[in-house]
Amino acid sequence: MNQQETIFLLPQAPKTDTTSDYAIDIKDLWKSFGKNEVLKGVELQAKAGENLVMLGKSGSGKSIIIKCLVGLLPVDKGVLKILDTDITGLSYAELNKIRLQVGFLFQNAALYDSMSVRENLSFPLQRHTKNITATEVKTAVSEALESVGLLEAIDKMPSELSGGMKKRVGLARTLILKPSIILYDEPTTGLDPITSREISELILEIQKKNNTTSLIITHDMACAKLTSDRIVMLNDGVIYTAGTYSELEQSKDEWVQSFFH
């Protein structure tokens, strides 16, 4: 796994008081790759404590939005506010202060294969928390694993875990430093229906317990229905429509209906 990617998955910084109701506030976001315009003026807001699901066809730019949000990709134009701070144009050091408040759950959980579960969770604490003791690390790791129902797997290697268990460990590692915002990239991909529901329910539990703001990219409509407070739908580089699951399910728009039937 790329060492640079880890920075965006794990760290935490002191919470920032915001003057906005939005934890995520994107305005007029444009992003092209050569002549290929992917994002064409995206407008997207997520309220503090909200689970916002993003739907769209494969290749529509959903993951590009997330990568722009954490500064992995520069934007061509637009405003991207994280906790009331516009990250566009920030220096590397300034950007890292904002990144520290964002957890990122990758599709494949992105665990270190050569580290045990305990070591995977200990690593971010030891790297990003000053003056932490071995006892504090042990307690934090146990609590994080217990929160995802996997304390018994603490000394297993990633190769010994099922797909669902890897997702849970990845989520525990994301949670261990208590981010204000969590970005989920296809959290139930590759999982059976029962495990997918368990992960979706866990996302809800985390929201209720920690009041996190979540942006959830998914193709899994069961996950979208269970986890979402609102849904936004990306089409042709813009937010095509938005609403609750039930509102969109009842839409007469053929493109919207293609996701529900």
The tens digit of pLDDT for each residue in 23-32 reads: 999 999 999 9
Whether residue 257 is predicted with pLDDT greater than 60 in this model: the reply is: yes
Give CA 164 to chain center in angstroms.
17
Q: Does 161 map to a domain?
A: yes
| Percentage, residues of the chain above pLDDT 90 | 65
Does 10 fall in a domain?
A: no
Per DSSP, 72 falls in state S
Classify residue 74 as exposed, middle or buried by CB count within 10 Å of its CB (0-12, 13-18, 19+): exposed
Q: Which residues pair with 80 in a beta bridge?
A: 26
In a domain, 8, yes or no: no
CB atoms within 10 A of CB 251: 15
For residue range 175-198, list pLDDT tens digits in order: 888 899 999 999 998 889 999 999
pLDDT of residue 70: 85
pLDDT at position 33 over 60: yes
DSSP 187-228: TTTT--HHHHHHHHHHHHHHHHHH--EEEEE-S-HHHHHHH-
Burial class (CB in 10 A: 0-12, 13-18, 19+), 209: exposed
Does 3 reside within a domain? Answer: no
Q: Residue 198 sits in a domain of what CATH number?
A: 3.40.50.300
* pLDDT given for residue 18 in this prediction: 43
Q: Label residue 19 by pLDDT band (50, 70, 90).
A: low
Instruction: Give yes or no for residue 206 having a pLDDT over 80.
Output: yes
Please enumerate in sequence order all residues whose Cβ is within 8 A of that of 261, keeping only pairs 6 or more positions apart, or say none: none
Going by pLDDT thresholds of 50, 70 and 90, the confidence category of residue 169 is very high
63-77 confidence digits (pLDDT tens): 999 999 988 899 999
In which domain, by residue range, is 247 found?
A: 20-260
Which of 56-60, 98-102, 133-137, 229-233 bottoms out in mean pLDDT, i.e. has the lowest? 98-102
Q: Whole-prediction pTM value?
A: 0.84
pLDDT top residue among 3 and 150: 150
Give yes or no for residue 5 having a pLDDT over 50.
no
> Mean of the per-residue pLDDT values for the chain?
88
Average pLDDT, stretch 140-148?
Answer: 90
**Lookup result for tokens 């509102």:** 247
- pLDDT higher at 47 or 125: 47
Q: What is the pLDDT of residue 72?
A: 87
The total of structural domains in the chain comes to 1
13 found inside a domain:
no
Q: Is residue 1 part of a domain?
A: no
* Residue 101 forms part of a structural domain: yes
Q: Is residue 244 in some structural domain?
A: yes
Classify 110 in phi/psi space as left (phi over 0), alpha (psi -120 to 50) or beta: left
State the Cα–Cα distance between residues 43 and 188, nearest whole angstrom. Answer: 26
